[in-house]
Amino acid sequence: MPEFDTGTYRLHYQWGRPYRPGRPTVVLLHDGLGAIGSWRGLPARLARVLEANTLVYDRFGYGRSQARPSFPHRFMEAEVAPLRALLDHVGADHTCLVGHSDGGSIALLFAARYRRSVRALVTEAAHAFVEPETQAGIRALVAMQAAGKTPTWLRKLHGERAEALLGAWSERWLSDSHARWSIRERLPAVRCPVLAIQGEADEFGTQGQVDAILLHVPSAQSWIVPGCGHTPHNQAEDAFVERVVAFLQPHLRD
């Protein structure tokens, strides 16, 4: 797996299928407790169907990237610059982004900052602000950890650092300072087409998140996925791929 040194920490990344020069790039950004492995076979599938390069990476503190002891205030905003540096490193400029949960928020922030670099953007369960439902979902994970029942998927993605990662990430998400966090004021700067996706039974947020994106992003459309929770890309993969491919394909043509 290739590695990129930001100058401060190391990031691991990989391509969904072998890199093909001259093809457009779709970047997938994982959720707040995720990693490259969270996407399972989706990067390879999207690369094949879209005839594009798909780039996935472990953010700072996640998966096989360098560990981190804590998450600062506005940690999602802090991920914009490393993503820009990684894209410069691999030579991907005009990209499409697909971001899940925290990754969706980071994708929106990136598109607001680098308007000319993003052709189109898909968010899945992105956070535009903090809701009680999100905090309740995180507290449930913390309670599982306290009871010695840390989810097996967390250990599979992060190995021996799983406990520390959940502790540091949840501490920031449940902090008083983060409770007032919002990116609604940044969203009008997003000028690319946006597809905002959310499961109708998302256990970490409500449709209010999608509504905020629709209200503030001029070119946004939405898809509320019936019968799905927080991860439609896993829970309804075929429908997810069909909808995302139909949305992205026109924007991947030169």
pLDDT tens digit string along 214-246?
999 989 999 999 999 999 999 999 999 999 999
Q: Which domains does the chain have, with CATH numbers?
A: 3-130+182-252 (3.40.50.1820)
* Nearest in space to 65 (alpha carbons), one of 47, 83, 53: 83
The whole-number pLDDT of residue 235 equals 98
The whole-number pLDDT of residue 104 equals 98
Amino acid at 213: I
Tell me which residues of the chain have a pLDDT lower than 70: 254
The whole-number pLDDT of residue 93 equals 84
Longest dimension (CA), the chain: 53
The whole-number pLDDT of residue 254 equals 60
